[in-house]
Amino acid sequence: MSMNLSAKLDELQRGDRQLETTVALCEIRTQLQELTKSVESCQSEVSEVKRDMVAIKHELDTVQQVKEEIEELREYVDRLEEHSHRRKLRLLEQGLTLFLSYAILAAVLGMLQFGYNTGVINAPEVNIENFMKDVYKDRYGEDISDDYVKRLYSVAVSIFAIGGMLGGFSGGIIANRFGRKGGLLLNNVLGIVGGCLMGFTKMAHSYEMLFFGRFIIGVNCGLNTSLVPMYISEIAPLNLRGGLGTVNQLAVTVGLLVSQVLGIEQILGTDEGWPVLLLLAICPAILQLLLLPVCPESPRYLLITKQWEEEARKALRRLRASNQVEEDIEEMRAEERAQQAESRISMTELICSPTLRAPLIIGVVMQLSQQLSGINAVFYYSTNLYTSSGLTEESAKFATIGIGSIMVVMTLVSIPLMDRTGRRTLHLYGLGGMFIFSIFITISFLIKEMIDWMSYLSVVSTLFFVVFFAVGPGSIPWMITAELFSQGPRPAAMSIAVLVNWIANFVVGIGFPSMKTSLENYTFLPFSAFLAIFWIFTYKQVPETKNKTFEEILALFRHGNDRSSLRDSRLYGSMLNCVNALEGHIPPAESAALMVAEEKPHPDSL
């Protein structure tokens, strides 16, 4: 059409027309050419739109396909979550077997060693000071001042904690290199050497030998405080972990009580008997050397650290008295996958890890809450504390035995409570009760000179102070530190926490006599302030770990450790298990879809 129109226009131009008509026709031709180009451009754009619509349709089909895959993944995750929940229920049904009881008994002899050596130095204080005076006079030909002999005695008390720092800090290295059981067996050599050095102190006529022996036995006890809770938490069934963890503290209290009973004047609390009292520290070490070799190594250590699955199965079969150990193996595998990136974590990496920083702070503060509560001031100096409050020396020693008896009884009471009430609740009750009775102790000291029977109020207040310590702060810090960490960072975390515990132990042991001299009747007020701070911290920051697997506890901190995460921790932990289980089955392209699937709420959380 455009060609015919151009031909006609050419004919018109060739004719004898006026100039204006020619110009107008040229303009018409130009406009027609531009219109033709516009039409061709529109046709090209229409073709591009058609191609875009085809691409959009293809993308919509892809989205629909992804949506269907997400629904399938959701169903798969739900099935895995249900499987994980059933597995956890089976774990919670496991009971206490005879061989597990034997293994626990053999292991906690290390904590009995710790308790015995914590309390053994208390009762024979006067006898040991007299020995130091005699040695000094024989060496230098002059009498030693009372202040100096008090300082020497405080060194004998506190150097135990210095050894404990070294032992506790080395616990993680020993646990990884030699295993939990292997480390405990090797540690008994130190227990025997330290006990012999202390026992032969008088024969050697050297109080430096006493100091060295206390240091060596401190290293032994420091390693025990790191290795024993770790071993017990790893061999205990999920539903019994709290109660069996409390057996640690029961062994400590039994050791304390035995040392206090043997330390009275009617038995070994004499100038001739106190070396034998110190020598008896070798008995728990020798007994553990006899009993522990029969026990298996920690199954978690065998499976996760050493990758010896068959040995781990054998250990579990013996501990559970059953061939059905697949639930335990699956739970350990889930923990291993959750912590695979941190399977060999150093202390520096632990401190720098954002995920693990919160549980590490909680573990450290929990250890401080045990030592800075003032309980070791009672353990180390209770006899002196009671005599200064108005009791006779003999009555003070029997009151100290009462402390040990109360500790044993209340620890036994707390064993069933640990897995019923929960760690956090018991710790809050314990710290609160200790705070109240530390105030009563201070009041009794202030008015003892005005009212005679106030000395008995100080005894009663101290006994209740110990009761509430046994309920919570006595056992929970050892247990919860092992629970807050999975297999990879657990040894390093235990080393740091135990080191902090022993540092605080040393500070209290070396500083309490000076603090008592400076503050006199207000000696327990600093402990009251610390107890208030630790109660607030526990209420605000510490999660409940009762009946939670290690990966569920880790999920609490990955999830922010807020109240909603605490309520949904079971769901989150189960989903974490599902994700771990899916790692071997889901291709990378579908990982984003799985993340969406994980957001699906569980009916129990609604």
Tell me, rounded to whole angstroms, the distance of Cα 219 from its chain centroid. 21
- On the question of pLDDT at 504 being above 80, the answer is yes
Rounded to an integer, what distance in angstroms lies between the CA atom of residue 69 and that of residue 77?
12
Tokens at 255, concatenated: 């050791």
Mean pLDDT of 385-394: 70
What percent of the chain is modeled with pLDDT above 70? 81
pLDDT band at 589 (very low <50, low <70, confident <90, very high): very low
Mean pLDDT of 525-535: 94
Q: What is the pLDDT of residue 94?
A: 60
- Give tens-digit pLDDT for 267-278: 898 889 999 999
- 92 vs 261, residue with greater confidence: 261
- Give tens-digit pLDDT for 405-427: 888 888 888 878 877 788 889 99
- Give tens-digit pLDDT for 280-338: 999 999 999 999 999 999 998 998 888 888 999 999 999 888 887 877 888 788 777 76
pLDDT band at 484 (very low <50, low <70, confident <90, very high): confident
- On the question of pLDDT at 587 being above 50, the answer is no
| pTM strictly above 0.75 | no
Q: Any idea which of 150-164, 332-346, 413-427, 543-557 has the lowest mean pLDDT?
A: 332-346
- 545 Cβ contact list (under 8 Å, min separation 6): 422, 423, 424, 480, 483, 484, 553
Rounded to an integer, what distance in angstroms lies between the CA atom of residue 237 and that of residue 244?
9
Decide: helix, strand or coil at residue 222.
helix
Decide: helix, strand or coil at residue 547.
coil
Rounded to an integer, what distance in angstroms lies between the CA atom of residue 229 and that of residue 474?
13
What percent of the chain is modeled with pLDDT above 90? 28
Question: Chain-wide mean pLDDT for the chain?
Answer: 80
Rounded to an integer, what distance in angstroms lies between the CA atom of residue 339 and that of residue 582?
15
Question: What's 583's DSSP letter?
Answer: T
- Give tens-digit pLDDT for 165-192: 899 889 888 998 999 999 999 999 999 9
Mean pLDDT of 113-138: 90
- Give tens-digit pLDDT for 562-578: 444 434 444 434 444 44
Instruction: Give the burial class of 309: count Cβ atoms within 10 A of its Cβ; 0-12 exposed, 13-18 middle, 19 or more buried.
Output: middle
Mean pLDDT of 337-346: 62
Q: What is the pLDDT of residue 463?
A: 84
Scanning the structure block, which residue is given the tokens 């929990």? 366
Tokens at 381, concatenated: 């100096």
Question: What are the residue ranges of helices labelled H in 280-392?
Answer: 282-291, 299-300, 309-320, 326-338, 347-352, 354-371, 375-388
Q: Which of 441, 436, 468 is nearest to 455 (CA)?
A: 441
Mean pLDDT of 544-560: 71
Rounded to an integer, what distance in angstroms lies between the CA atom of residue 105 and that of residue 188?
15
pLDDT band at 8 (very low <50, low <70, confident <90, very high): low
